[in-house]
């Protein structure tokens, strides 16, 4: 294992110990789809997604390092928002979350219910980074980035650390790919466990900036916010840190894309056959598996969350 991977794998293990009192150890489920398939069901995680792993690690680390911040700020379409709100409330810090106006209303309501101040008026996917910089400077808050932050990446890696503790002989691990925080953490944990484990990122074909970046060996942003059922990965570019982990250091072996029809079919199957209430983003690895894009062997899927828009799922399930 390289010095880079060893250093960051140690940080993932430290994150696991740090966040253990605050997150759930989610199960690695078996299924009748395939005896070699394992489903890491992060839809059962606190707030319904993997995001508290990174948020708690980042905010607890902030408090440990000191001085104590005035408060934290984040920008999110919903899952990171809820995670930051919960972690901040747990340690007694104010939290301000910028959420685009067209975000899932259920995720917005859940963020407010966790005690965070939510700013939506005039916030869009196009201007949210600019608004974030303005409000951060104005309020003197500390940013908890959804993916381009080492503490967040290390926290997200704890999901794969758990999966490989439960299922040490996996050949492939696949995770959704938006900004790259979850996949970077997964790659660090997987490659430190066994270099032969194949790590695959899955993103919508309609939001394929990471696939393009992988092929081009540089960050290739999308020109506009993508339109996809998988609203949790509607980023326009991966981060500099996540690019370095995934492609600079080569810890991610492959990126595959799935169509909107494949995403819809996987989400529907999760609800009706697996009895897992996944959101479309959480079903991305399942979509890749069902489409035969992950190869063969013992395969672990990181199913990242279950905070579905019920109107969307009702439409998908009645088509």
Q: Which of 40, 51, 107, 191 is catalytic?
A: 51
Same domain, 118 and 158: no
SS3 category, 209: helix
The Cα 177–Cα 220 span in angstroms is 14
Same domain, 89 and 188: no
The Cβ-side half-sphere exposure at 247, using a 13 Å CA radius, reads 21
Same domain, 223 and 98: no
SS3 category, 101: coil
The Cα 116–Cα 66 span in angstroms is 22
Same domain, 167 and 280: yes
Told to judge if 51 belongs to the known catalytic residues of this protein, a careful annotator would answer: yes
Same domain, 302 and 212: yes
The Cβ-side half-sphere exposure at 70, using a 13 Å CA radius, reads 10
pLDDT in tens, 285-310: 999 999 999 999 999 999 999 998 88
Those residues whose C-beta lies under 8 Å from the C-beta of residue 80, and which sit 6 or more positions away, are 51, 54, 55, 74, 146
SS percent in the chain: helix, strand, coil, step 5: 50, 15, 40
pLDDT in tens, 192-206: 999 999 999 999 999
- State the pTM of this model: 0.95
Last residue of a domain, one of 93, 124, 143: 143
Told to judge if 77 belongs to the known catalytic residues of this protein, a careful annotator would answer: yes
pLDDT in tens, 144-202: 999 999 999 999 999 999 999 999 999 999 999 999 999 999 999 999 999 999 999 99
User: β-pairing, 198-204 with 254-258?
Assistant: parallel
| Cis-peptide into 159, omega within 30 deg | no
Q: Which of 49, 61, 76, 77 is catalytic?
A: 77
Range of the domain at 39: 3-50+149-317
Last residue of a domain, one of 91, 121, 143: 143
- Counting the structural domains of the chain, the total is 2
């Amino acid at each position: 294992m390289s010095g880079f991977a060893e250093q960051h794998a140690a940080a993932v293990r430290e994150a696991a110990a740090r966040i253990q009192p605050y997150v759930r150890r989610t199960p690695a489920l078996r299924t009748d789809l395939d005896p070699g398939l394992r489903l890491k069901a992060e839809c059962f995680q606190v707030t319904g997604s993997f995001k508290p792993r990174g948020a708690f690690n980042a905010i607890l680390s902030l408090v440990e390092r000191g001085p104590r911040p005035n408060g934290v700020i984040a920008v999110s379409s919903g899952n990171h928002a809820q995670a930051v709100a919960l972690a901040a409330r747990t340690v007694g810090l104010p939290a301000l979350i910028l959420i685009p106006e067209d975000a899932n209303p259920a995720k917005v309501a859940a963020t407010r219910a966790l005690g965070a101040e939510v700013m939506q008026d005039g916030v869009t996917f196009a201007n949210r980074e600019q608004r974030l910089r303005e409000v951060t400077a104005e309020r003197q808050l500390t940013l908890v980035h959804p993916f381009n932050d080492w503490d967040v990446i290390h926290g997200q890696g704890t999901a794969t650390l758990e999966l490989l503790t439960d299922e040490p002989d996996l050949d492939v691990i696949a995770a959704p790919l938006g900004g790259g925080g979850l996949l970077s953490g997964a790659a660090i944990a997987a490659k430190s466990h066994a270099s032969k484990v194949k790590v695959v990122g899955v993103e919508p074909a309609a939001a394929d900036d990471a696939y393009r970046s992988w092929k081009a060996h540089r960050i290739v942003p999308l020109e506009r916010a993508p339109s996809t059922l998988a609203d949790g990965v509607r980023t326009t570019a991966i981060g500099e840190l996540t690019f370095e982990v995934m492609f600079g250091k080569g810890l991610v072996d492959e990126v595959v894309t799935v169509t909107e029809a494949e995403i819809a079919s996987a989400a529907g199957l999760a609800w009706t056959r697996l009895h897992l209430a996944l959101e479309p983003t959480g079903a991305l690895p399942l979509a890749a598996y069902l489409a035969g894009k992950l190869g063969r062997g013992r395969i672990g899927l990181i199913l990242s969350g279950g905070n579905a828009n019920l109107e969307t799922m009702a439409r998908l399930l009645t088509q």
